[in-house]
Amino acid sequence: MKNLIIVESPTKVKTIKTFLGKDYAVVASKGHIRDLPKSSFGIKIEDGVFVPEYRTPRDHSKVVKEIKDLAKKAETIYIATDEDREGEAIGFHIATAIGKDPAELPRIVFHEITKTAIKHALENPKKLDFSSINAQQTRRLLDRIVGYKLSPLLASKIQKGLSAGRVQSSTLKIIVDREKEIRAFKPVEFWSLDGIFDKNIESILTKFDGEKIEKMTISGGDRAKEIKTRLDNESFVVASIDKKERKSSPSPAFMTSTLQQTASSSLGFSPKKTMMVAQTLYEGVKTHQGTMGIITYMRTDSLSVAKEAIEAAREQILNSYGEKYLPKEAKYYKSKSKGAQEAHEAIRPTLIDFTPAIAKDYLKPDELKLYSLIYNRFLASQMNSARFESQSIIFKSESGEFKASGRKLLFDGFYRAYGVSDKDKLLPDLELNQSIELTKLEANQHFTEPPSRYSEASLIKKIESLGIGRPSTYAPTISTLVARMYISIEKKQLIPSENAFTVIDLLEKHFSEIVDSSFTSNMEETLDLIAEDEADWQEVLNKFYEPFMKKIEDGKANIKSLKVITPTGEDCPDCGEPLVKRKGRFGEFISCSTFPKCKYTKNLGKKEKKEVVTLSVKCPECGSGIVERISRRGKFYGCSAYPKCKFISNYEPIDETCTECGGMMTRRELKTKIVKECIKCKNKIENAK
């Protein structure tokens, strides 16, 4: 063995080995082989200099020994970790752990794991980038300072087990702020007048007595009925027919945030699952040309694409769809993200002739779904725009105007590859000034809706727009908030716990910078400057540390405890002191009032399950009874014959039938209205309380 290549992942080892001969050995570090210790602060500070005290975890000692042994036999050792700051830092730690000078070892980078990319990297070795390493170290130390110093304060003032983090807490504030908006929201009533004209043309009232009618213009039912009465007795003509051609342009290839958002909305994947599947596609799978990585690096905020890949995509478009789908010139995109690293590439397929049709014989179902999404999005990004004809007709009477809108697809363009879900909504051919009958007119009551809770996808879009975190932190941040029980995910909505409100309120009052998105975003930009060798990492740490620690000390002395402690009236069996009921991370428990001097604790038993309530209505599928049940996600209604019958409803079934289709109706009570909805045709009836 003449050469040793050190990568991060064992899967990469298998893939890269297939490209190289017997002169190369490939070994995986399995991620970080050195980190700050878990049991102590791990940062030594002397005269304003921050020295991280890295340790090799026990579970990595065997890996380090293996790499050391292989390194002794190798003439050349290549560091081949991921092409980002984390990868640079891992390479630095590998070199240090095996007793080599990090500045001397050749460093190879590749954004795709293919034979061509690996050989090109070996022919063009670089050196580790110490500016990027310092940027990563700064991030790691900042996160340790915040987590190690602030988390115990929260635990002592609010509840044991709580934690805080630089990116975590500013993200949590966004979720909590939205929930506060929802709780403070007061619905406002408004009405619309919806007309159906001859030939079943749906329309909405847009003008009445010269006044433009917009959402919330008609605020009361009496006014709506008055307008309806007048319009019911008037004659209408076609006042205008407008047809315009519009274009719909393709989106660029994915970057991390847009991949996570689209996979969530299109495939139902969580960001964590998306990144796990993408990691597999990047590191290597079986293809019709052997094992290789079939997408480029998946942690990126860049929209740049290699010229060779664009040329391959254009050739594929020409061969698969024809000349009319191919633009005269290639399309180039640029990221609008703060601090985007344009030297990287967007996420794209590495082998353009490994089409989803071929891939289905090699990939697992989830892998195929995500790969198809990435492949089709990339191909579509280099195709011609789709063209539509937008149609609008104005129907006019003496008092009012109604508008009907339609759309017709003229040329599918990039939709040919990416797909289009919108169906044509065509309006019939009419003539100007012809009379037309208003066959149906309804005055419909509505209420303004509160802002919707964030989903994982919409939260990622939000924190990306604010510059909070980077592609590698989006999914882990959400996972941390769930693991710490700050949020729960129900029906794809992120719902903060009461602890989240308490923590954010305390942080806003005493540590405003930790939850300030601008501060967090500016810190990310500062890390970028360190990576570009335009800022000193020690100065950045000093500037943050001293004022932060003053606030910590002030908080220990002056922040009032918010812990809820209730006497039980019983004495501790160990020491005789009074027992109290406390609230902990996993719910209520009983402990000695002298804790931690006396460590007696007792878990409170789980609450008895609520009795099953049987409703008076029958199951629409089998005729059995319907029962009300409680799950960890809340109340729901199901057939009493479960599991033989799997009927289920999130809303309460009632003994009424739909006037449209005869199906069962359900009922839900909101703050200001009662909504009845058919489980079959979704016909909805809204009534004010």
Cβ distance 626 to 679 under 8 Å?
A: no
Active-site residue list: 297
Task: Please check the confidence at residue 320 and state whether its pLDDT lies above 60.
Answer: yes
β-strand partners of 43: 52
Q: Which residue has the higher pLDDT, 141 or 163?
A: 141
pLDDT tens digits along 381-432: 999 999 999 999 999 999 999 999 999 999 999 999 988 767 788 999 999 9
Give the pLDDT mean for 585-608. Answer: 71
pLDDT in tens, 453-507: 999 999 999 999 998 988 888 999 999 999 888 999 988 899 998 889 999 999 9
Query: For residue 414, with 0-12 CB atoms within 10 Å meaning exposed, 13-18 middle and 19 or more buried, which class applies?
Result: buried
Two structure tokens written together for 391:
């149609």
Pairing of strands 24-28, 3-7: parallel
Query: Can you tell me whether residue 557 is helix, strand or coil?
Result: helix
51-55, 607-611, 685-689: which has the minimum mean pLDDT?
607-611
Rounded CA-CA distance 558/673 in Å is 46
Per-residue pLDDT band for 569 (boundaries 50, 70, 90) equals confident
Q: At 540, which helix (H) or strand (E)?
A: helix 537-558
| DSSP string for 275-291 | HHHHHHHHH-EEEBTEE
For residue 596, the model assigns a pLDDT of 66
Q: Give the model's pLDDT for residue 565.
A: 75
pTM assigned to the model: 0.78
Q: What distance in Å separates the CA atoms of residue 591 and residue 575, rounded to the nearest whole number? A: 11
Compute the distance between CA of residue 164 and CA of residue 486 in angstroms, rounded to an integer. 10
Say how far residue 128 (Cα) sits from the centre of its chain. Answer: 32
pLDDT surpasses 50 at 304: yes
* CA–CA dist 264, 259 (Å, integer): 8
pLDDT of 342 above 50: no
Q: Quote the tokens at residue 9.
A: 């992942």
- CA-based nearest residue to 150, from 539, 510, 473: 510
Which residue from 516, 138, 481, 112 is spatially nearest to 297, judged by alpha carbons?
A: 112
Residue given tokens 């190879």 in the structure block: 108
* 557-575 b/e (C-beta count within 10 Å ≥ 16 → b): eebeeeeeeeeeeeebeee
Most confident of 481-490, 565-574, 598-607: 481-490
> What is the rounded average pLDDT of the residues 73-89?
92
Strand stretches in 280-417, DSSP E: 285-287, 290-292, 386-396, 400-411
List C-alpha distances in Å: 544 to 85, 168, 497, 513: 21, 17, 29, 10
- My answer on whether omega of the bond before 596 falls inside 30° of 0, hence cis, is yes
Per-residue pLDDT reduced to its tens digit, 160-188: 788 899 999 999 999 999 999 999 999 99
Neighbours of 157 (CB within 10 A): 19
Q: Which residues, at least 6 apart from 39, have a Cβ–Cβ distance to it below 8 Å? A: none
